[in-house]
Amino acid sequence: MIEHLDLGGQKSQFSTLNRCTFMGDIIRVIFYTRNTKINGAGLVPIYMRVTINGQRFNAATSRYVDPVKWSKDGERLSGKSKENREVNDFLATLRTKAFSIQKKLITIERPVTVEEFERRWHGIKEKSRMLLEIFQHHNDQIKKLIGLQYSFSTWRRYFTSLEHTRHFMQDTYGFSDIQIDHIKYEFITDYEFWLKTKRKCNHNSTIKYLTNFKKVIHLCLKNSWLDRDPFAGYKMTKREVERAFLTDDELNELRSKSFSMPRVSQVRDIFIFCCYTGLAYVDVKKLTRSEIAIGIDGEKWIFTHREKTETATRIPLLTQALEILDRYKDNPECTNKGRLLPVPSNQKMNSYLKEIASLCEISKKLTTHTARHTFATTVTLTNGVPIETVSRMLGHTNIKTTQHYAKILDKKVSEDMQVLKNKIARSGRGSYP
């Protein structure tokens, strides 16, 4: 924030430009001659001095003048000859350059120091900062904070984003890294196109990867390594998608179905447990027996934290979920690891769920996340559980996320409207005379 602009100073025509104060930094520009360095023609050199917070930067102007014609107070040549005007105009240009450097430093939020000023005056560039080096450093810091500030899945997400960025540059431009100040708007749009065509990412997945990339870009902006945001003007809007969930009939069919293979039955049970708790795969896999406790109503609840958002989640256990927990209370895999359920890998879960859907004649694609959607829609919202309560149990940090589920409940809309119809009918105001 600019605190004030001091316009006092010299009596010359440049007096209004001579002093500027910004966040405690002061820049003062003066011109002077060194009479001790008179040359053979009797001329003396003109020097420029920039003073910042009491420190000085001196630079030769490469101009020599007759000391008799030099005005010490005005810091310029006296007289209106063509030669004098050219020298004075040149000094004015140097002064403008000095204050332009200050303005640039202020704009990019760099401290106005003699060292920084001198480097820019002489056009000395900083060591080029490379995108992938910064991205890797960012990821390394997240990895060291797993369990303290970030989850493993968060690090994994940025790891994948870094790999996509690396391969994008190799495929599109043929180089292994890029200077961050070379990243322009075109780089972003090319990256989007590559993700959708080469990686076959859908629109929302593409936006997720670009969002991760944008965080690294903003890190560069905050550190003043970039002067301009290449994402400026780029629209990053996700498309709303219809989330698959099981109906009451499909859920009951799944619960009552008998399977000959124990492993298939086990996967079905874990899926059903998620349908009645709303837990995501990663959360049910890490669920321990110590996370089951007596809640405020004297019944058993789940007290855990979501892996994705690290938000606290408290879920009262329904009868269907308790039955499954009781079924696996003596399971060797659970007792040895202190886990509540013997959850296989996500890949195996989804593979078996595909087979289960076929055996139950369910045409919808079943994944571990379908269970979470089923809890939000069929088990809770459809049965009148307030959306605020559902959002809390799901561990959503924003109720707008939960509202995506509510938009697809045609059955609930029908039931609510039927209540309204009956109310209007009873009031006698629902028919024409």
Query: For the structural domain made of 248-416, what CATH number should be given?
Result: 1.10.443.10
Residue 414 has pLDDT above 80, yes or no: no
Residue 429 has pLDDT above 70, yes or no: no
Q: Give the model's pLDDT for residue 410.
A: 63
Tens-place pLDDT, residues 270-296: 999 999 999 988 889 988 888 999 989
Q: Give the model's pLDDT for residue 276.
A: 94
CA-to-CA distance for 47 and 342, rounded, in angstroms?
Answer: 80
Q: Give the model's pLDDT for residue 25.
A: 45
Confidence class for position 12, pLDDT limits 50, 70, 90 = very low
Higher-pLDDT residue of 108, 356: 356
Residue 3 has pLDDT above 70, yes or no: no
Beta-sheet strands, E only, within 11-77? 19-22, 25-33, 44-52, 55-65, 70-71, 76-77
Structural domain spans, the chain: 15-121, 131-222, 248-416
Higher-pLDDT residue of 81, 397: 81
Which percentage of the chain shows pLDDT scores above 70? Answer: 89
- Mean per-residue pLDDT over the chain, rounded: 85
Least confident among 42-51, 66-75, 119-128, 361-370 = 119-128
Contact at 8 Å (CB) between 63 and 44?
no
Q: Give the model's pLDDT for residue 4.
A: 30
Return the number of other C-beta atoms located less than 10 Å from residue 413's C-beta.
Answer: 12
Query: For residue 285, with 0-12 CB atoms within 10 Å meaning exposed, 13-18 middle and 19 or more buried, which class applies?
Result: buried
Spatial CA neighbour of 255 closest among 240, 239, 242, 271: 271
Residue 2 has pLDDT above 60, yes or no: no
Distance of CA 342 to the CA centre of its chain: 35
Q: State the DSSP code for 179.
A: B
Residue 334 has pLDDT above 90, yes or no: no
Q: Give the model's pLDDT for residue 411.
A: 65
Q: Give the model's pLDDT for residue 394.
A: 85
Phi, psi angles (nearest 5°) of residue 297: -95, 5
Q: Give the model's pLDDT for residue 399.
A: 79
pTM: 0.57
Confidence class for position 254, pLDDT limits 50, 70, 90 = very high
CA-to-CA distance for 268 and 258, rounded, in angstroms?
Answer: 10
Tens-place pLDDT, residues 13-68: 333 334 343 444 478 999 999 988 989 899 999 999 999 988 999 999 999 999 99
Spatial CA neighbour of 97 closest among 64, 57, 53: 57
Confidence class for position 9, pLDDT limits 50, 70, 90 = very low
